[in-house]
A and B are shown apart, each in its own frame.
Chain A
């Protein structure tokens, strides 16, 4: 079981308190853009995923805790969390990820 640091509760909590919510930073196009999107573009938004083997930005939901969504960088080869950060914050840069590892 993973230990996950909730950036809102500021605590490490067991995985069973959380629900995985897919790849992070996939922005749903607004209604006007949607109406002009081609099938290919819509398919990319809807179905295509990075599925990285390595550091993966993903969304988690602390549904049995503070009930907040947040984002995380996790290494999918080792399942080790590099960092978690609040919703609305930008995707961390490579330097930030490297710094978080230390």
Chain B
């Protein structure tokens, strides 16, 4: 059924008890044209674009747990595209373009709110580096502008811009098209829309092996629900990509780290935008429910445990209190951790692999949510055409051999 004001009204009359389930829970067929491993928003999105844009509808999405239960449900939902390098700007801005019409396209409210992302500069180096970002972004047609401390205060009233602070605000870079979205809605919206087009979404179906034929090409995957044939397999498994790739005999330039975030108790609207501070090391926004959503960097060691250490949260909150003394008495409600797959240059890998028929979308590290529609579309394009799109072509695996790294490690913000 299509969600609309009329359907909302009609269902209100029946006490909201007759809403149909949004997508069926399928058992797998024996053979698919394409199998996507990983039922996060990236994987579900890839299946949706394969069916809607590229005409491949015999697609399955295999998910070990439940859809959107990995990093899709474990991030801080920030969307922005103010990256320094041309390649990154093109990729992340493609995603922001798709975010723009996503709710209408999926007929599902993903609550994309362009409230603006403000990156604070606290020292001369920050000022110079962010102004360089602003100019670089403008050359790439990505909106970003420089604000004086007074303009920062006007844009984000909770900010303390007095010069007596230990880390004074010396200005900020503001991207107005940036903002936040509702993470669960993105996964569910893609799942529902893909399912409508004939995609099978199979949950509780862990992939245990990848079978290859005599020529080394992919011919199917072993799963908890039996062997499924497919000549094309896309891997979109975030933190577990190394584990899945090992099944195909590939080793990847990835390390998986825990990344934590936390929210406060809900309060009335106080915080109108997203603020990031690299130097003090934290970022913050307010969800529509009223919670302050707070995050910072990863734990120091690799781990698949989906949890991190408490002293990182403490450090994180100290930073927030340093920039926003008004939040000193806030109480924190809950915290969570995801497993992020980090590449040596902090840029993703989206494209083909040395194994025929095996495609990958990984390495998004600490910043995958913002790229969801773009990454999904690029993976779908690459699978459908067996060639990368010109936007994701630079993000190939070979760059680690040739040395053409896209070194956002130096350029990325704390939250990437």
Contacts and interface: CB of A to CB of B under 8 A. Distances in A.
Interface in A13-47: 15-16, 19-20, 22-23, 39-40, 43-44, 46-47
A1 B310 contact: yes
Which of A23, A53, A74, A77 has the largest number of chain B CB atoms within 10 A? A53
B402 A58 contact: no
A49 interface: yes
Which of A50, A51, A53 has the largest number of chain B CB atoms within 10 A? A51
Interface string B372-407: 000000000000000000000000000011110000
A64 interface: no
Interface residues of B, number: 24
Contacts of A78: 305
Contacts of B301: 2, 20, 58, 74, 79
A16 to B, nearest CB: 6
Contact of B240 (A16, A49, A53): A53
B302 A58 contact: yes
A43 B400 contact: yes
Contacts of B400: 43, 46-48
Contacts of A23: 255
A1 B255 CA distance: 20
A37 to B, nearest CB: 12
Contact of B302 (A16, A40, A47, A76): A76
Nearest to A80: B305
B305 A77 contact: yes
A49 B402 contact: no
B85 interface: no
Given A43-B400, A56-B302, A48 B310 contact: no
Contacts of A56: 302
Given A39-B401, A40-B401, A51 B255 contact: yes
Interface of A: 1-2, 15-16, 19-20, 22-23, 39-40, 43-44, 46-53, 56, 58, 74, 76-79
23 contacts: A2-B309, A15-B311, A20-B300, A20-B301, A20-B302, A39-B403, A43-B401, A44-B251, A47-B344, A48-B253, A49-B251, A49-B255, A50-B251, A51-B243, A51-B254, A53-B240, A74-B301, A76-B302, A76-B304, A77-B305, A78-B305, A79-B305, A79-B307
Given A20-B302, A51-B252, 20 more contacts: A2-B301, A15-B309, A16-B311, A20-B300, A23-B255, A39-B401, A39-B402, A40-B401, A44-B251, A46-B344, A46-B400, A47-B400, A49-B254, A51-B256, A51-B302, A56-B302, A76-B256, A76-B305, A77-B305, A79-B301
